[in-house]
Structure 1
Amino acid sequence: MQQLNVIGLKQKDTEQLAERLNLLLSNYQIFYMNVRGFHWNIKGENFFELHEKFEETYNDLLMKIDEIAERILTLGQRPQHAYSTYIKNSDIEEVKDVHDGPSCVREILNSYQITIRLQREILSLAGDADDEGTSALMSDYIKEQEKTAWMLTSYLGN
């Protein structure tokens, strides 16, 4: 018989989900720092609009970082917490010295593409494991980020 954790999910499933959630956590941490840097360093014609949008974005990312770490803990696993681990495991790369609006927005869109792809993978795994909590979290993130990606793409005129 499979060992179940306190929320009734199979141990093997929670370990696999936590592994993928930790990868997502790594990506979110790098994404967060990139957007924080865009907020600090944005220059140009749309400064006020983008400065505010980037602050809204990094605050949202920070909230998601906490939710993901807490979900990993809920699954009975341990969230990774070393920045060196985040850099090593993230598909999103550090962005340095970017301060023009369109370049910042393109980097954010690239990061959403990476997180949405990974969240869809986690959504599928969570469905297979009957993990409604993780499924709901990923579904909410995907829905929200697809709309944001559409809006940012429209902002760029694409």
Structure 2
Amino acid sequence: MKQLQVIGLDEKKAENLSERLNELLANYQIFYMNVRGYHWNIKGQQFFELHAKFEETYDDLLMKIDEIAERILTLGQRPMHAYSTYIKASEIEEVKDVHEGRACVGNILDSYQTVIRLQRDIQRVADDAGDEGTSALMSDYIREQEKTAWMLTSYLGD
């Protein structure tokens, strides 16, 4: 595959990384839709604060979804693109009818825990494959999300 020759990656290793990135993509898509639902349906005293925070969160998730899909393409593979496929491949489950602030934030923290774990695994595989691009992307996400997790945990008072 010419593209992989240009960027200097082994085809089998790139394929393995792409499979893992597709799993991450599926988790991000379900995570994104859950947060959209929280944004639309939040109720209670923290409505204004959380409504804005959830919008900020889903905007960030959407950007990462695009970056992950483009990374898969860079590795010469195809990103998943059907919600039925995402649901089957995602560890994060759809959350329905959640509108209470603490429950929404708790579910977001659970989702961050999942994607951070997956990203650490992908980063290790990328390092072994000599794929600095994927490794750096995962490192950036992890650093940012660890701080976000700290802030959300502090918000809950835990």
Using the size of structure 1 for normalisation, the TM-score is 0.97
- Which position in structure 2 is the counterpart of 1:78? 78
- Which position in structure 1 is the counterpart of 2:21? 21
Tell whether the 8 Å contact from 1:34 to 1:95 is kept in structure 2 after alignment: yes
> Runs of 5+ in structure 2 lacking a partner?
none
Quote the Cα distance in structure 2 between the aligned partners of 1:5 and 1:79.
20
- Which position in structure 1 is the counterpart of 2:114? 114
- Which position in structure 1 is the counterpart of 2:130? 130
For residue 134 of structure 2, what is the amino acid of its counterpart?
T
Higher helix fraction: Structure 1 or Structure 2? Answer: 2
Which runs of at least 4 in structure 1 moved beyond 4 Å after TM superposition?
none
Quote the Cα distance in structure 1 between the aligned partners of 2:103 and 2:6.
46
For residue 10 of structure 1, what is the amino acid of its counterpart?
D
For residue 54 of structure 1, what is the amino acid of its counterpart?
F
For residue 94 of structure 1, what is the amino acid of its counterpart?
E
Quote the Cα distance in structure 2 between the aligned partners of 1:6 and 1:14.
13
> Aligned-pair RMSD on alpha carbons?
0.6
Per the TM alignment, residue 7 of structure 1 is displaced from its structure 2 partner at its CA by 1.3
Tell whether the 8 Å contact from 1:27 to 1:86 is kept in structure 2 after alignment: yes
Correspondence 1:7-156 to 2 at 5 A: 7-156=7-156
Tell whether the 8 Å contact from 1:34 to 1:94 is kept in structure 2 after alignment: yes
